[in-house]
Amino acid sequence: MARLNNKLIIKEMPWHANMTELNHLGAALIAKPTVFEGVMNTIFTAHRYSDNPLTMMLTGKGRKTITTTAWEWELKGAITRPLVFIEDVEPSNTTKGKFKQTFKVKLDEPWWLPGDVVHPGNKKMLCRVQTQSAKSGNGYIYELRGMTDDPTWFLSLNYATPGVQWAKLFSQYEEGAEQSGSTQYSLPIALASKMGRYRKMYSVTGDAAQEVLAVKIPGSDGKMYDSWIKYAEVGYWEQWYRELERGLWYSRSTDSVIGSTGRSISSGPGVQELMEDSHIHNYSYLTAKLIEEYLMDIFYSRIKPGKGRKISAFTGEYGMIQFHRAIQDWQEKRKGFIQVVDQVFIQKTTSPYTENGLQAGYQYVRYRMANGAELELTHCPLYDDREINFEIDTVTGYPIESQRFTFMDFSDGQGGNNMQIIDKMNSFKLGYVAGLSTPYGPVNKGLMSHSGDYYEMHVQKQQGIHIEDVSRCGELILSRN
């Protein structure tokens, strides 16, 4: 059996006949699942080089337990939105509004009232709504008058074509007016998501079950305590938590796949499926300017310039190198910007080849941009994993996924979380199927579930990922085409 590179291992031990049940983590989970599930999560994600960046980051308020397998939430949109020009109802009138005449336009909603001053994107084209809108087919007809005393003014036909957006600026009235301007209310958008059901088992023969390890397990008081864990079980739990993390990233939503029992498999979306509705940009060459302009699309008109424009980006190891090179190219074009702090990058070092050895080097992992925007990288080992990433970039020779940048905003600006792991209450289940061997040693005149010299362990859990507002997230995806 292959050796595991786990710094929690203190020493390898032969089979210990008096190994207690609670010192065996599988059994501990059966006895106290709500207590030891957290311990397992800590051991196999946070205390070693981890494949589970989301699990490590989303702790505390970043996790939520619910009693159902699906959940709903409401997302408040913008207070107002433009109306859309649907049809030119006066096609023969090519100088709409000339000689201070009213004209008609067809828009998609009846929200505006007489007195509202509107425009089609050009502030010189201000118009006032003169009458109540009237329903007409798939839209509403408004009568407008140009806000000008110039008799030669008329609406350019560029603004009287389907798809052009018109927006309200304000409302204006005459002395003694009885009318008032409109008020728009945006109703919350109802959203829903769901979790997936994960299962895993392992089978251990009587001979393989004899090897155990002495490890340190963190207690609730923060101290480390000695315990015994079976060697095979260490590898199992590492794979289990790695697969749960993969599900958080890569799961695809479906209800139509049928399992062996004839029932449908309810699978919830992972991060990458949820991100498909966010800010997606395909790039072929990464530059500092691209990063800055891309993030501007996320922040612009949402978060005011200044502190608070912070975002994390998950990427692979080669993506981190590409990011470093992009920022390095940017600073080199500024003619020696880095020279101000050069002394910390070039230092003396020992060498068997010279008495005057020097070492140099630095790496950019954070980018502070104009208007207070700040980007920090987080390594995502899943993006580097060659076991699951087979598409290779022909230019670099590394997986394309390793050069993917997933931008996440974990804060909602009000002390909450834009992203959470959702667990189903009491969904963690674990059990053994024992033959001549059990997790606690060989059977001696005991009951067996099968005649083989092995035992099985089966584990099940339901969880999913929640992103409150994907419009505050996005991805840069490498595309050479």
CA atoms within 13 A on the CB side of 9: 14
* Rounded mean pLDDT, 223-242: 73
Residues 6+ apart with CB under 8 A from 48: 6, 7, 8
Closest among 418, 407, 424, 419 to 194, alpha carbons compared: 424
What pLDDT, on a 0 to 100 scale, did the predictor assign at position 17? 44
Percent of the chain scoring above 90 in pLDDT: 28
Secondary structure of 425-447 in the HEC alphabet? CCCCEEEEEECCEECCEECCCCC
Mean pLDDT taken over the chain:
80
* Rounded mean pLDDT, 419-430: 89
Q: Which two tokens stand for residue 399?
A: 């997986």
Contact 473, 312 (CB under 8 A): no
Contact 168, 118 (CB under 8 A): yes
Q: Which two tokens stand for residue 108?
A: 């998609």
Q: Is the pLDDT of residue 39 over 70?
A: no
Interval 185-194: pLDDT, tens: 666 677 788 8
Domain ranges of the chain: 83-170, 278-420+468-478
User: Which of 8-22, 34-48, 399-413 shows the lowest mean pLDDT across its residues?
Assistant: 8-22
Taking residue 242's Cβ as centre, other Cβ atoms within 10 Å add up to 20
In the chain, helix, strand, coil percent, each to 5? 25, 30, 45
Residues 6+ apart with CB under 8 A from 250: 270, 271, 272, 388
Which is it for strands 474-478 and 279-283: parallel, antiparallel or unpaired? Answer: parallel
What pLDDT, on a 0 to 100 scale, did the predictor assign at position 208? 62
Q: Is the pLDDT of residue 34 over 80?
A: no
The SS3 call for residue 382 is helix
Is the pTM here over 0.95, yes or no?
A: no
Task: Specify burial of residue 82 (Cβ count, 10 A radius: 0-12, 13-18, 19+).
Answer: middle
DSSP 188: P
* Rounded mean pLDDT, 305-332: 84
d(Cα 467, Cα 465) in Å, to the nearest integer?
7
